[in-house]
């Protein structure tokens, strides 16, 4: 058993490790973790940019990686405390975005402002315990290559956004999005899809008899 596995399976060691890594009841790692541990544990691609006011709440016990030439804008928050966060190359994470792992974002993705992508859910079923004290669950979110996520969108745990798809601004995505689709609304529904036979983006009503990518 590795040291990390031993810590994770021993409640006392885990509690001590968490205390050393971040202050109690806070998500932001301690200064020494940000400065001296994270640069050695996490992967940052060539020419990737973390804006000065971006908040990277990333810890060494879960993976975090950003590909080449990607940008994490000011006031964005990235958190890998409950699961890995992987961001591909040439991807843009906009102002005030929140990304909570487990999340995998592909290459050439545009994420506009005030978007929430959270692979985490809080338990609420036990009515005698405050929700904040109940066990959390996670389910990975995957945003495939070349997608565009519009401003103020919310993507919930376990959702996959297919390649080259668009999520309209203000949408709440609770189900998988097929590749080459445009979705919108709350909950989000497919509005258009690319038809490979006509080489056109068509409204969903026109697609029931034709093949799609």
* H or E segment and range at residue 190: strand 188-195
DSSP string, 122-184: E----TTS-GGGSPEEE--EEE-TT-EE-TT-EE-TT-EE-TT-EE-TT-EE-S-B-SSEEEE
State how far the Cα of 62 lies from the Cα of 161, in Å rounded to an integer. 23
Backbone angles phi, psi at 178, to 5 degrees: -65, 155
Q: Which two tokens stand for residue 7?
A: 């810590």
State how far the Cα of 207 lies from the Cα of 176, in Å rounded to an integer. 18
Q: Which two tokens stand for residue 76?
A: 């964005």
Query: In the annotation, is 122 catalytic?
Result: yes
Q: Active site residue: 108, 114, 122, 164, which one?
A: 122
67 dihedral zone (left: phi>0; alpha: psi -120 to 50; beta): beta
State how far the Cα of 120 lies from the Cα of 100, in Å rounded to an integer. 7
Q: Report, as residue numbers or ranges, the catalytic residues.
A: 122
């Amino acid at each position: 058993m590795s040291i990390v596995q031993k810590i994770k399976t021993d409640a006392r060691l885990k509690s001590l490790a968490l205390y050393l890594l971040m202050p109690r009841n806070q998500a932001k790692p301690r200064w020494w973790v940000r400065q001296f541990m994270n640069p050695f544990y996490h992967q940052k691609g060539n020419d990737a940019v973390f804006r000065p006011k971006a908040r990277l709440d990333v810890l060494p016990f879960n993976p975090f990686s950003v590909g080449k030439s990607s940008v994490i804008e000011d006031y964005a928050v990235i958190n890998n405390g409950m699961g890995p966060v992987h961001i591909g190359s040439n991807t843009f994470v906009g102002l005030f975005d929140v990304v909570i792992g487990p999340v995998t974002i592909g290459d050439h993705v545009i994420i506009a402002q005030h978007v929430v992508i959270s692979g985490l859910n809080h338990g609420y079923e036990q009515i005698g315990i405050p929700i904040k004290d109940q066990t959390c669950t996670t389910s990975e979110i995957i945003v495939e290559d070349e997608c565009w996520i519009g401003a103020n969108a919310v993507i919930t745990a376990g959702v996959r956004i297919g390649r080259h798809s668009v999520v309209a601004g203000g949408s709440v995505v609770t189900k998988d999005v097929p590749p080459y689709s445009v979705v919108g609304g709350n909950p989000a529904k497919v509005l258009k899809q690319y038809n490979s036979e006509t080489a056109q983006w068509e409204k969903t009503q026109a697609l029931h008899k034709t093949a799609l990518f």
